[in-house]
Amino acid sequence: MGQITPTVLWPQDVQSETLVEWIAAIERMDGAGWPLVLVGNCNEVDPLDGLAMAAFCAARTRQIGLCASVNASTVEPYTLARGLATLDFMSGGRAAWRIEAGSDEARTLELVATVRELFASWQEDALESDADNGLMSNPDKVRAIHHEGEYFQVEGPLNMPRPPQGNVPLIALSDEGAIAAAADLVLNPQTLWKVKLAELPAAPARLSRPSGQSILERFPEA
C-alpha cells in the first residue's frame, strides 16, 4: 500500500498565545487548497472552544472546510445544533464537527441522533415569506421532534432554518469505534497532518480542491 498524502490539517499547539499566528496559517492553507481543518480542543492544554474558533476562521477563509471539535459530555443537543447550523450559514456550507476523545459514548450517540433530528425539524423549503400573515416560514414544514431519551428531552423544533448542507456532517476517524459507525464521514488517520506552527513551512504542495463543494463531496474516497 502506498503512502497516503495528508489532506486534513490538525493543529496541535493552538493556545491563546499562538491563536493569531494559527488563524493566519489557516488562511494560507485555505489559499493553498486544503479541504479541511480540525479546530478547537485538540489536546489537553488547548483552552479554545472549537465552534468559536471555527466561526472566527469562517470570516477569514473562503474554501477550507471547518471542523469544530466538541466535548460531547458537556454540551446539550439544542445549543449544539444551533451553533453548528450557525457555523454552516456563516461559512457558506463549510461546517463539520467531531467528537473530542474521552467523551461518554452512550451520551454521545444520543446527542448525535438528537442533533440530526433537530436539523431535520425544518424541511429544506420551509422558508416561505407570507407578509400578509406575518410568516417567514411554512408551519406545515417545521415540526417538533418530541425527543425523549435517556440523557435528553428535547421538544424542538430548532428555532432557525435547516443549515445549507442539510445536515452538518459528523466526522470521525476509522479507529473511533461506535462514534465512527455513527459518523457521516470516516477518515483514515493517515489523512491527518498533526502539525505544530514550527512545522508549517514543510506543508505538502498545493492541493487541488474545488470551492463550493459540501464537506462530504470533498472526500468521495472516504
Q: What is the mean pLDDT of the segment spanning 209-216?
A: 70
> What φ, ψ does residue 38 adopt, rounded to 5°?
-95, 130
Q: What is the pLDDT of residue 131?
A: 56
* Bridging pattern class, strands 192-195 and 8-11: parallel
The gap from C-alpha 121 to its chain's centroid, in whole angstroms, comes to 19
pLDDT of 134 above 70: no
Q: What is the pLDDT of residue 2?
A: 47
Q: What is the pLDDT of residue 78?
A: 97
Mean of all residue pLDDT scores within the chain: 85
Size of the chain in residues: 222
For 206: left if phi > 0, alpha if psi spans -120 to 50, otherwise beta; the answer is beta
> What's the rounded Cα separation, in Å, for the pair 64 and 84?
16
By the 10 Å C-beta count (0-12 exposed, 13-18 middle, 19+ buried), 131 is classed as exposed
- Domains of the chain and CATH, by start: 8-218 (3.20.20.30)
Alpha helices in 41-189 (DSSP H): 50-58, 77-91, 105-119, 177-182
pLDDT of 67 above 50: yes
Query: Which grid cell is 26?
Result: 489557516
Query: Which grid cell is 196?
Result: 505544530
pLDDT of 5 above 80: no
> What φ, ψ does residue 203 adopt, rounded to 5°?
-60, 140
> What φ, ψ does residue 148 adopt, rounded to 5°?
-130, 100
Q: What percent of the chain has pLDDT over 90?
A: 47
The model's pTM is 0.88
pLDDT of 1 above 60: no
